[in-house]
Amino acid sequence: MDRPITVIGGAGRVGSLIVQKLLAGGERVRVVGRSGRRARSLPDGTSFHVGDVRDAATLKEPLAACSAVVFSVEPGTANQGADSPKSTMYQGVINALDAARADGARPHFALVSQIYVTRHDHPINNWGRMLDWRLAGEDAVRESGLPYTVVRPGWLTGGRSAGDRVHVEQGDRGEGSVSRSDVAEAVVQSLYLPSAAGLTFEIFNEPGQGNPDWDALFSSLRQGPVAAR
């Protein structure tokens, strides 16, 4: 891409895989995170920016004039206040969208969300209404006017414990796990393939062959808000 790509949470487990894949493809990558300590393990060629999605001012510089933004942030679980999912997965997403759209810019915005966001009665929602606020953050992305992709992984695993095949679906009724590497690849592919624009989908591994045709997978899905509520 002609301008840098910004990965918020790029020093995290999924985020660092995204960063590695982007660097391998020759991209210039900016990483945003709160801790300079984590940043020490980032690969050469990455520029690290201390920032917190809950503090809008810290996002201005790293999100200025970029080709794409990835948001892969783990929220706190408090019921309210700075460590609540509301502060990170809702207000934090809005802060990132605002910074991304500054001066009329229109970068692709890829959000790493999770399965279950439309299942209000799921026990995960007992943690600070995690699911409700994640869904509100997703909605903000879908309504942002930016080209976007919302990726909802199943349970994250280090390897492909559920199988090598990548399965994508919509409607938030599925269950399963998915490797962080396949989630990272889905995010990276979504930045390049027009077929991923406007998609919200769940992603799992299952038994079968790996190495998917991402364009075919994305093209099999429906654009727009598809969440069952």
Ligand X SMILES: NC(=O)c1ccc[n+]([C@@H]2O[C@H](COP(=O)([O-])OP(=O)(O)OC[C@H]3O[C@@H](n4cnc5c(N)ncnc54)[C@H](OP(=O)(O)O)[C@@H]3O)[C@@H](O)[C@H]2O)c1
Query: Among 42, 73, 93, 100, which residue sits at the site for ligand X (rule: CB under 6 A)?
Result: 73
Is residue 161 a contact residue for ligand X (CB under 6 A)? Answer: no
Question: Judged by CB under 6 A, does residue 72 bind ligand X?
Answer: yes
Q: Element (H or E) spanning 168, and its range?
A: strand 165-169
Residue from 3, 21, 38, 101 touching ligand X (CB under 6 A): that is 38
Q: Among the candidate windows 21-29, 148-156, 164-172, 200-208, which touches ligand X by CB under 6 A?
A: 148-156
Total residues in contact with ligand X, by rule CB under 6 A:
26
The pair of structure tokens assigned to 100 is 């991304």
Q: What CA–CA distance (Å, rounded) separates 52 from 228?
A: 31
Question: How many whole angstroms separate alpha carbon 105 and alpha carbon 123?
Answer: 39
Residues in contact with 56: Cβ distance below 8 Å, sequence separation at least 6, in sequence order:
95, 98, 99
Answer yes or no whether residue 142 interacts with ligand X by CB under 6 A.
no
Stretch that binds ligand X, among 41-49, 119-127, 151-159, 216-224 (CB under 6 A): 151-159
Query: Least CB distance from residue 6 to ligand X, whole Å?
Result: 11
Name the residue whose CB lies closest to ligand X: 12
DSSP state of 74: P
Among 6, 114, 144, 195, binds ligand X (CB under 6 A): 114
CB 147 within 8 A of CB 109: yes
Going from the C-alpha of 74 to that of each of 54, 71, 113, 149, 177, the distances in angstroms are 12, 10, 10, 18, 17
3-state secondary structure 40-87: CCCCCCEEEEECCCCCHHHHHHHHCCCCEEEECCCCCCCCCCCCCHHH
Alpha-carbon 111 to chain mean position:
3
- Does the protein bind ligand X through residue 190 (CB under 6 A)? no
Question: Of these, 27, 52, 182, 202, which contacts ligand X (CB under 6 A)?
Answer: 52
Q: Which residue stretch of 19-27, 50-58, 138-146, 207-215 sits at the interface with ligand X (rule: CB under 6 A)?
A: 50-58
- CA gap 179, 223 in Å, rounded: 24
Instruction: Find the part of the chain contacting ligand X (CB under 6 A) among 21-29, 32-40, 99-107, 142-150.
Output: 32-40
Terminal-residue alpha carbon distance, the chain: 36
Residue among 99 and 112 whose Cβ is closer to ligand X = 112
Q: Determine if 199 is a binding residue for ligand X (CB under 6 A).
A: no
* 93 touches ligand X by CB under 6 A: no
Classify residue 103 by its DSSP letter: G
Q: Does 226 bind ligand X (CB under 6 A)?
A: no
Per CB under 6 A, residues contacting ligand X are 8-9, 11-15, 32-35, 38, 51-54, 72-74, 88, 92, 112, 114, 153, 155-156
